């Protein structure tokens, strides 16, 4: 288990291999069997693979609108970079990283969702897949009502967004980490 944790990495470069039904079921099972406070089990899962191009079109249309209408948005610089990058360097896929699929977790409880997402990542790694927790796409989705409508999540909060797929890269080493502060009493 420690090896799996040490060798997991954020994946920002994916092969075009799709995620099968059985693999998807395992990912969601790993999430839905995670502990939740008060056993509330309120996390929803929205998986986009077949309609990913439509999702991207909605996101970039929305980004175009926001960057025009909200020049004082606190994240305007990066939003513009995502929007313009799509036009000038589409192959880079700064936001979607060429992942074959996106998994959204919905709900009002960040700790529940975070724990579930971590189990999903480990399950993905055990099947040769990888993920990228995408904080920007989470915030962008929350910001754009048309994207939430597309996801059938108008009345939900998008808590976490993960790109999912088979890595096109292989890491030989673990990532260095800071020495954490530890107190043992």
Ligand X SMILES: Cc1cc2nc3c(=O)[nH]c(=O)nc-3n(C[C@H](O)[C@H](O)[C@H](O)COP(=O)(O)O)c2cc1C
Pairing relationship of beta strands 101-106 and 158-165 according to DSSP bridges: antiparallel
Residues within the interface to ligand X (CB under 6 A): 9-10, 12, 132-136, 175
In this structure, are residues 106 and 43 in contact, taking their beta carbons and an 8 Å threshold?
A: yes
In the complex, the smallest distance separating the C-beta of residue 152 from ligand X, rounded to whole angstroms, is 23
Q: List helix spans (H) across 127-166.
A: 135-143, 145-150
Tokens of residue 160, six digits = 């976490």
Report the alpha-carbon distance of residue 115 to residue 138 in Å, rounded.
16
Q: Cβ closer to ligand X: 25 or 110?
A: 110
Q: Cβ closer to ligand X: 38 or 177?
A: 177
In this structure, are residues 34 and 126 in contact, taking their beta carbons and an 8 Å threshold?
A: no
Q: Cβ closer to ligand X: 100 or 130?
A: 130
Q: Cβ closer to ligand X: 10 or 126?
A: 10
In this structure, are residues 147 and 62 in contact, taking their beta carbons and an 8 Å threshold?
A: yes
In the complex, the smallest distance separating the C-beta of residue 73 from ligand X, rounded to whole angstroms, is 16
Which helix (H) or strand (E) element contains residue 181?
Answer: none
In the complex, the smallest distance separating the C-beta of residue 185 from ligand X, rounded to whole angstroms, is 29
Q: Cβ closer to ligand X: 4 or 152?
A: 4
Strand order in the sheet with 101-106: 44-48, 101-106, 158-165, 130-133
In the complex, the smallest distance separating the C-beta of residue 67 from ligand X, rounded to whole angstroms, is 17
């Amino acid at each position: 288990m420690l090896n799996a944790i040490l060798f997991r990495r954020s994946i920002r470069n994916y092969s075009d291999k799709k995620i099968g039904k059985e693999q998807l079921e395992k990912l969601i099972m790993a999430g839905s069997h995670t502990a939740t406070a008060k056993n509330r089990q309120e996390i929803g899962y929205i998986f986009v693979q077949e309609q990913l191009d439509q999702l991207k079109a909605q996101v970039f249309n929305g980004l175009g609108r926001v960057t025009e209408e909200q020049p004082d948005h606190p994240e305007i610089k990066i939003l513009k970079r995502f929007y313009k990058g799509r036009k000038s360097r589409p192959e880079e896929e700064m936001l979607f990283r060429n992942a074959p699929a996106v998994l959204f977790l919905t709900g009002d409880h960040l700790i529940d969702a975070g724990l579930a997402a971590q189990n999903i990542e480990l399950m993905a790694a055990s099947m040769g897949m990888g993920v990228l927790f995408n904080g920007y796409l989470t915030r962008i989705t929350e910001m754009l009502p048309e994207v939430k409508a597309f996801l059938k999540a108008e009345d939900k909060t998008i808590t976490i967004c993960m790109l999912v797929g088979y890595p096109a890269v292989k890491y030989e080493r673990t990532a260095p980490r800071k020495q954490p502060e530890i107190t043992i009493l």
